[in-house]
Homo-oligomer: A and B are copies of this chain.
Amino acid sequence: MAVYTDVDDEELIAFLAGYDLGALLSCKGIAEGVENSNYYLHTSAGSFILTLYEKRVAEADLPFFLGLMEHLSAKGLGCPQPVRDRAGAALGRLAGRPAAIVTFLDGYSVHHPEPAHCARLGEALAQLHLAGADFPLRRANALSVGGWRPLYAPFAARAGEVAEDLGAIVAAELETLERDWPSGLPEGVIHADLFPDNVFFLGDRVSGLIDFYFACVDSLAYDLAICLNAWCFDAAGAYDAEKGAALLSSYARARPLTEAEADAFPLLARGAALRFLLTRFVDWLNVPRGALVRPKDPREYLARLRFHKTIRSASDYGLRT
């Protein structure tokens, strides 16, 4: 997100003329989202976010993402609500790119989540899963077990550049996870990237979830495993059992885990750790020299992966049922 498409004021005014949003008052590129260009948009009708979809997001997926946000908003979930133009379309075109306007969501990301934040996250995630249950569109998870080996293979020879034993660990892990990955768990819409950056709080409550551009249909418990990885380890990489217990237990109060989900949970957590380890590994190797954006350290997820391999069941993470 270090690059923005520069939006011409005349083009933007012409684009806005297709909406019932009044006159343009202000439009500023904002530092939010990593895949797209986002702008704070102020018109005489209020505040919005304008998104221009850049190359990394497939245009064919946009109806899924925008439809999902609309579906979830209609169910009362706090998330950006796509604004339709006068012709009824949520997706338009601006500056040569697919473009959408969504409602502006107040709230801010929490930099140092406490157990109370993890508890609120668990509730919000369960609400997302329940609200998404009857969403009719489908999108496969390109970054689930079947996608990891093709992602990793072209760069496997360079694993040693990140950690001496990375190659051996990833090879063994791919073999195990491809063989044992659970099937038949309850499925539905998952966010698939619900890191602290993508959860807005106002004081102690969750005001909304953003950045649905990895959302897909997959095992619901896998989404919870992603959140466990993203929220419940301290800066040194140690598991915080209090945060983990808060997340899992508050999720399960709103949507109880099935026995199969609880049994599979350590493996799902390993898979989630591997998924972020691999994408970070590839980003790490492919950062442009001298770029001002520092890639995230893949080794954080190597440490998480090692931890998950010591766990036997969801209750070992602190799930109280």
Contact = CB atoms under 8 A, between A and B. Distances in A.
Interface of A: 2-4, 6, 8-10, 12, 23-32, 40, 42, 47, 104-112, 200-203, 288-293
A43 to B, nearest CB: 10
Contact of A3 (B42, B104, B200, B292): B292
Given A2-B2, A28-B31, 14 more contacts: A2-B293, A4-B31, A8-B111, A9-B109, A9-B110, A23-B202, A25-B107, A26-B104, A26-B200, A29-B31, A42-B106, A289-B289, A291-B292, A292-B292
Given A288-B290, A288-B292, A32 B28 contact: yes
**Chain copies in the assembled complex:** 2
Nearest to A31: B29
Contact of A290 (B40, B112, B290): B290
Q: Which 3 A-B pairs have the closest CB atoms?
A: A29-B31, A290-B290, A288-B290
Interface of A is mostly: loop
A59 to B, nearest CB: 23
A313 to B, nearest CB: 34
Contacts of A109: 9
A245 to B, nearest CB: 23
Contact of A30 (B3, B23, B28, B106): B28
B2 A292 contact: yes
A25 B106 contact: yes
Contacts of A25: 106-108, 202
Contacts of A104: 26
Contacts of A107: 25-26
30 contacts: A2-B2, A2-B292, A2-B293, A3-B292, A4-B31, A9-B108, A9-B201, A10-B111, A23-B202, A24-B108, A25-B106, A25-B108, A25-B202, A26-B104, A26-B107, A26-B108, A26-B200, A27-B108, A28-B30, A28-B32, A29-B30, A29-B31, A30-B30, A30-B31, A40-B40, A42-B106, A288-B290, A288-B292, A290-B291, A291-B291
A106 B43 CA distance: 9
A111 B291 CA distance: 27
A195 to B, nearest CB: 14
A28 B2 contact: no
Contacts of A110: 9
A26 B47 CA distance: 12
A291 B61 CA distance: 30
Contacts of A288: 290, 292
